[in-house]
Chain A
Amino acid sequence: GEDVEQSLFLSVREGDSSVINCTYTDSSSTYLYWYKQEPGAGLQLLTYIFSNMDMKQDQRLTVLLNKKDKHLSLRIADTQTGDSAIYFCAESSHSGGYQKVTFGTGTKLQVIP
């Protein structure tokens, strides 16, 4: 079945850039996503990229997609303490009339003041 892998933990200093990496196995993915989960909350979509793109930038966020290597990354520039959260990588493909979304384990980002 589909598989999404990411490291469990990342620690950075405030003001530095954070890079969270993810690999996936499904070559038929249509969209790839980054979701953010703050403590005590559910997941919220942070950004997404269509599978025929290789880069997307949105303010402090840069998403890079290497479709050949099935590698997705999220770069957060000028990381702030408010960015501390769990970041989930996910991919979707159309299945049985709905978008089947497969998630990774989540990467817990700790920002040190």
Chain B
Amino acid sequence: ETGVTQTPRHLVMGMTNKKSLKCEQHLGHNAMYWYKQSAKKPLELMFVYNFKEQTENNSVPSRFSPECPNSSHLFLHLHTLQPEDSALYLCASSQVERERTGELFFGEGSRLTVL
């Protein structure tokens, strides 16, 4: 139990569906992240929210839409996805302060399959 909970753990969707991934952190952190994990590729940072403001969007296609309603919740809205978007989507949180080590606390991930 890392204090970061992701739902659903598994999701299968067609290319025309709309679905959302949810992440909740119980650690009192002020930053939340979405990462994409694909086989044989580096873990890819998608979005960062710092104090609920989006501070990073790493050239992610618009079919992925993040939402951070408060510092404890993060969503990733999915629509019109492609089969190559199938991957493990990891949510993480951290406490951002200059003297901190920058340790990220990860959820267990949402395994997405796009048919």
Which residues of A pack against B, CB within 8 Å?
4, 8, 30-31, 33, 35, 40-45, 48, 88, 90, 92, 94-106
Contacts and interface: CB of A to CB of B under 8 A. Distances in A.
Contacts of A33: 103
Interface stretch (B14-22, B65-73, B74-82, B92-100): B92-100
Interface residues of B, number: 28
Given A40-B108, A98-B31, A98-B55, A48 B41 contact: no
B45 interface: yes
Nearest to B44: A103
Contacts of A40: 108
Contacts of A4: 42
Contacts of B43: 43, 88, 90, 103-106
Interface in B3-61: 4, 6, 31, 35, 40-43, 45, 48, 50, 55-56
A90 to B, nearest CB: 8
A93 B56 CA distance: 14
